Amino acid sequence: MKNILVLGPGCARCNTLHKNVESAAKELGLECEIFMVSDPAAIAGFGIMNTPALIIDGELKVAGKLPTIDKLKEMLSK
């Protein structure tokens, strides 16, 4: 099971990333847990300076960008 963190303060781009990650995981039939991290101190604790950010199984995959669902599916399938 994959552990997925979407980091962001709750802005439109962050919410879109969260929704797109859910869609990509569902399309892949992926068993995962997706968490939204919106606390600024927690985000800073990951060393993230630009949001939205995506961490999959402890590895930073993207920060400051909004990848397409196809790109997310590619990231999630690795």
Note if 14 is an active site residue: yes
Strands in the chain per DSSP E = 2-7, 32-37, 53-56, 59-63
The CATH number that applies at residue 32 is: 3.40.30.10
Are 3 and 18 in contact by the 8 Å Cβ rule? The answer is no
The parent domain of residue 31 ranges over 2-76
To the nearest whole number, what is the mean pLDDT of the chain? 95
pTM comes to 0.94
Catalytically annotated residue among 4, 6, 7, 14:
14
Catalytically annotated residue among 9, 10, 11, 50:
11
Cis peptide bond upstream of 40, omega within 30: no
**Per the structure, how many domains does the chain have?**
1
Which one, of 71, 56, 66, 52, lies nearest residue 9 by Cα? 52
pLDDT in tens, 22-59: 999 999 999 999 999 999 999 999 999 999 999 999 99
Q: Is 78 a residue whose pLDDT tops 90?
A: no
